Structures are given as structure tokens and as C-alpha cells.
């Protein structure tokens, strides 16, 4: 069975979660972000990519924090190469 790729970092505020993915191809590293809203359906946790009005401020905050984390991570990696 093939190992499932996991995000390099996750940011969560309330029910809103940003997962940061790192992909390297031809020695070029890129980061992508997926955002989801977590909710409980009975005893089971699920996620959705649909957001309500009251989710939007948190969506902006996790997006901003993901952006900041990616830049800091890239600077850290660049410093390690020196």
C-alpha cells in the first residue's frame, strides 16, 4: 500500500483549517494550500470546502497565517543552504 502524502504544516482556527503542501520537482519547491471547514456529523468528523458567512473572517485569518508560514519556511530553508 502506498503511503499517503501528508501536509508539511496545518493551521487551524476554530473549525477552519489550512493544510500546507510542499512539492519539489526538478529541485524547485512549491507550496500549495488547501482550506476546509471541519464539522461533526453524529460521531464522525467530516470536512467541507464550502464556507458560510461567519466562516469568512476565519478563512482570511488562516489564509494569512499560511502565507506568513510559507514565507518564513522558505527563508529558513534558504538560510540552511548557505
Quote the strand ranges of 1-80, DSSP E. Answer: 9-13, 16-25, 28-41, 44-48
Is the pLDDT assigned to residue 69 strictly greater than 90? yes
Q: Give the residue among 39, 4, 8, 27 at the shortest CA–CA distance from 81.
A: 27
Judge whether residue 82 has pLDDT over 80: no
Instruction: Provide the 10 A C-beta neighbour count for residue 7.
Output: 16
Give the CA distances from residue 57 to residues 22, 25, 27, 28, in Å, rounded to whole numbers and listed in that order: 25, 34, 36, 32
Domain range summary for the chain, segments of one domain joined by +: 9-81
Please tell me the predicted confidence (pLDDT) of residue 66: 98
> Are residues 69 and 20 in contact, defined by beta-carbon separation less than 8 angstroms?
yes
Rounded to two decimals, the pTM is 0.88
Per-residue pLDDT tens digits for 11-57: 999 999 999 999 999 989 999 999 999 999 999 999 999 999 999 99
Q: pLDDT value at position 1?
A: 56
Amino acid at each position: 500500500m502506498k503511503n499517503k502524502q501528508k501536509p508539511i504544516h496545518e493551521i487551524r482556527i476554530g473549525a477552519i483549517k489550512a493544510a500546507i503542501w510542499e512539492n519539489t520537482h526538478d529541485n524547485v519547491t512549491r507550496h500549495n494550500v488547501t482550506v476546509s471547514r471541519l464539522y461533526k456529523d453524529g460521531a464522525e468528523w467530516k470536512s467541507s470546502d464550502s464556507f458560510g458567512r461567519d466562516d469568512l473572517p476565519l478563512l482570511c485569518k488562516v489564509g494569512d497565517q499560511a502565507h506568513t508560514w510559507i514565507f518564513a519556511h522558505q527563508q529558513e530553508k534558504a538560510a540552511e543552504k548557505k
